[in-house]
Each structure stands twice: as structure tokens, then as C-alpha cells.
A = this chain, B = another copy of it.
Amino acid sequence: MDYQVLLQDAMEQARRMPARGRVADYIPALAEADPLAFGMAIATVDGGVFGAGDWQRPFSIQSVSKLFTLALALAEGGEGLWRGVGREPSGNPFNSLVQLESEQGIPRNPFINAGALVVTDRLLELTGDAVGAVRDFLRTESGNPEVAADDTVAASEARHGHRNAAMAHFMASYGNLRNPVDSVLAHYYAHCAIAASCRDLALAGLFLARHGVRVDGSRLLSRSEAKRINAVLLTCGTYDAAGEFAYRVGLPGKSGVGGGVLAVLPGRGAACVWSPGLDAAGNSVLGVAALDALTTATGWSVF
């Protein structure tokens, strides 16, 4: 396949969308994102890397980081993680507290905010430095030593983070955090504030396409664990629109409010797309459209 042409065609089709959605503006640092930015990259298990548009420009990865915190927490600590966080779709917006109350402080899955706070808490306990663990993983897998958390974005999140603080305290009230609330929040904001490009993320996501094997050939997760993360991504990775994403794109994927979407093609590769305009569910409008076009053209789908 000529990936270069495929990427350009997919982006072309996505650009025909009647609207580009709305840039996240709940914190000033994100609101400044360039609404016209649009990039896409594919990395394949046999070593190819392809890109188009703004594919090498760093952006705030936000919730895409949750894929990596989950993988690292499972690699470091094993299945015990699931005692503090479920793996069912939530059926509610990503920052809702309702379900958390009816289910005694155990978040539905690792990809809603509450669940990612629990995963961050465990990774912090296991490594002593949750944000460092994610950052180092991204650097190594992408080969880009400049991947780093943007302190301005993290500080901005913290200043406007009353809702995340509410969730963290709420879970702490049920005994489901092991570190002080403030530490967990600081690491959470920092790993969400990591800046990386489509290229970096596509490369960093390859370990899932390689069924758990890292770029250096070492194994991060067992084959079975890697498949299982893909399953959680497919059912829960795109907020309360996971069903829609599975229906249209048919691949495990994780989105962030920075406008990035990382999708995995098991056994084949990983694709990352970035466009800051979001739909009502918080997913990149052009990003999902481009992945839809790409998978329709190629027939890629897990189904």
C-alpha cells in the first residue's frame, strides 16, 4: 500500500466535513491551539513511518496519555489494578461523578477521568514518578528525546481543575487512592500535559500492534495483556462515543481533548491524527473523520 497517498486521501476527505468542531477552551492553554492544525501519521510494525500535514508538530496529548499510564501500570503492577478500576463502558460523560457515587468510588474504566486518576495513583505508587514513567516511555518508543510535559499547560489545568479535584477527593473518601490527593492530581495534570506529535504517538502506540513488544524488542506486556488493552480501548477509549467510534472506525483507539486520536491496527501498525476541533463528545471531528476514511479505503477493521 502507498501509505502516503492513503493518508493524503483520508485527510482530504475529512476536510470536506461541514464543520471542524470546537477547540477545547476550558483552560486557556488549550484554547490557544491552532484550530486549523491537521496532521496524520502511520507507523507500521515492519518499520515504516509515514506522515502528512502537521504530523511532526507537537500538541498536548491530554487523554491519549491514559493509554500509556494504563499499559505501564499493568506492566509494573499486574492485574491487581482492576480491583480499583473497572473495564466497562461508562455510558456517561468522561467527567461525571454520578456513576462513581452509585458504584462506591470504583470508576468504570481507566479512560474516564476518574479511572485515569486511579491508574495514575497506582503508577505513582509503583514507580515513584508517574509522569516521568510516561514521558520516558514516549521518548524511547518514539526516539524523540524532546517529548516532555508542558508545565504551563499542567499549571493551567491545575488552576481550573476543580472537577478533577472533586473526583479525586470523592474516590479518596471511598479509600480508592493510595497517595495524597494533591500528588495524584499533579502527576495526572503533568502526563496529560505532555506534548508530542502524531509521529511520536504513532511510534509509541506500536507496542500494542506488536502485541506487547517494545521498540527495542523487549516485552512490556504479554500477548494476552496487549490484546486485552486493545479490548478496553475499543469499548471505552473514546469517551461516551466508543460505540460510535467502533461502528465507524472499527479499531481500538484513544482520543484526547487536545484533538489527538491514536488508533491501533493489531499486527499491522498504529495511526495517529490531530486536529483540535472537537465534537460534543470531546473527540476530534476531523480526526475521527480521517480515521473513518482511512479504514473505509483500506478495509482495516478488527471486525
Contact = CB atoms under 8 A, between A and B. Distances in A.
Interface string A68-108: 00000000000000000011111110001111011000001
A100 to B, nearest CB: 8
Contact of A163 (B163, B169, B303): B169
B252 A234 contact: no
A7 to B, nearest CB: 21
A231 to B, nearest CB: 4
A235 interface: yes
Given A227-B303, A303-B234, A88 B169 contact: no
A190 interface: no
Contact of A89 (B91, B99, B162, B168): B91
Nearest to A175: B162
A251 to B, nearest CB: 10
Contact of A296 (B173, B224, B243): B224
Top 4 A-B residue pairs of the complex, sorted by shortest distance between their CB atoms: A91-B91, A89-B89, A162-B173, A230-B303
B242 A88 contact: yes
A295 to B, nearest CB: 9
A215 interface: no
Given A163-B173, A252-B303, A296-B224, A247 B234 contact: no
A243 B303 CA distance: 16
Interface in A271-302: 296, 301-302
A88 B135 CA distance: 33
Nearest to A243: B88
Nearest to A267: B303
8 contacts: A87-B244, A87-B247, A88-B240, A89-B242, A109-B243, A166-B169, A228-B303, A302-B303
Nearest to A302: B302
A247 to B, nearest CB: 5
B170 A97 contact: yes
A241 interface: yes
A250 interface: yes
Given A97-B101, A303-B302, A231 B252 contact: no
Contacts of A91: 88-92, 99, 108
B303 A231 contact: yes
Contacts of A167: 166
The CB with the most chain B CB atoms within 10 A, among A102, A166, A296, is that of A166
A301 B234 CA distance: 13
A90 B164 CA distance: 23
A59 to B, nearest CB: 25
A169 B173 CA distance: 14
A235 B246 contact: yes
B99 A97 contact: no
Interface in A215-236: 224, 226-228, 230-232, 234-236
A27 interface: no
